[in-house]
Amino acid sequence: MAWAVVTLGSNIRGPVYLPRAVAALAQMARVARLSQVYETPPVGTAGPPFLNAAVLLALDLPAEGLRARLRAIEARLGRVRGADPNAPRTLDLDALLYRTPDGAEALVLNRREMGYAHAVVPAAEVAGHWVVEGRPLYRRAAAFAAQAQGFRPRVAVWSAMMEALSVNKE
């Protein structure tokens, strides 16, 4: 069994799409942990704020298979990919980190996202002890402390995501 950290983001009806996304993830893998949901400013574009979170998945998929499944979930939930990678979106699912049972260090699957507080801070909540390129993920998150102070927790959205996980298990 492998482990993966997947980040979730939305700035079009996020309170609707994030719970649907976590329910879809739970159908393909075991959701072992769910971070808080944060409202964060958009990066690289003007537009509405994003809602961002991360999950830790236990799964029987190779990294390439995970990426394909994430894209399928995005499409099923209305994501339209255009030329602008920073455009507003219903859903963004990124495979950030991947770890095999024998791996002492996590493999970075999305280097661009590792440079953003909105990805690293929630990821550290679900896999802070993972070693990424020689240092624990929680230390990477600490480097974003100043940026993260502007993040606003969205407890109601997190609760809806937890509820989606509970319903999925019944």
Q: Per residue in 139-162, pLDDT tens?
A: 999 999 888 888 999 999 999 999
Is pLDDT above 70 for 168? no
Higher pLDDT, 82 or 163: 163
Q: Is the dihedral of CA 139, 143, 147, 149 positive or negative?
A: positive
Calculate the average pLDDT of the chain: 92
- Residue 3: beta bridge partners? 58, 99
Is pLDDT above 70 for 165? yes
Share of the chain above pLDDT 70, in %: 97
The burial of 155, by beta-carbon neighbours within 10 Å (0-12 exposed, 13-18 middle, 19 or more buried), is given as: exposed
For the question of residue 60 being annotated catalytic, the response is: no
Contacts 24+ apart (CB under 8 A), 133-142: 133/105, 133/108, 134/105, 137/97, 137/106, 140/114, 141/117
Domains of the chain by residue range: 2-169
Give the containing element (helix H, strand E) for 31: strand 30-34
Q: Which of 94, 99, 140, 154 is catalytic?
A: 94
- Gap between the Cα atoms of 37 and 152, Å rounded: 8
Q: Confidence band (pLDDT; 50, 70, 90) for 50?
A: very high
For the question of residue 89 being annotated catalytic, the response is: yes
Label each residue of 103-161 as H, E or C: CCECEECCCCHHHCHHHHHHHHHHHCCCEECCEEHHHHHHCCHHHHCCCEECHHHHHHH
Q: Which of 79, 99, 140, 154 is catalytic?
A: 79
For the question of residue 94 being annotated catalytic, the response is: yes
pLDDT at 150: 86
- So what CATH class is 2-169? alpha beta
Q: Confidence band (pLDDT; 50, 70, 90) for 170?
A: low
- Gap between the Cα atoms of 160 and 123, Å rounded: 19
Q: Which of 20, 69, 92, 99 is catalytic?
A: 92
For the question of residue 79 being annotated catalytic, the response is: yes
Per-residue pLDDT, averaged over 34-62, amounts to 93
The burial of 106, by beta-carbon neighbours within 10 Å (0-12 exposed, 13-18 middle, 19 or more buried), is given as: buried
Phi, psi of 33, deg, nearest 5: -150, 150
**Residues 57-76, buried b or exposed e (16+ Cβ, 10 A)?**
bebebeeeebbebbeebbee
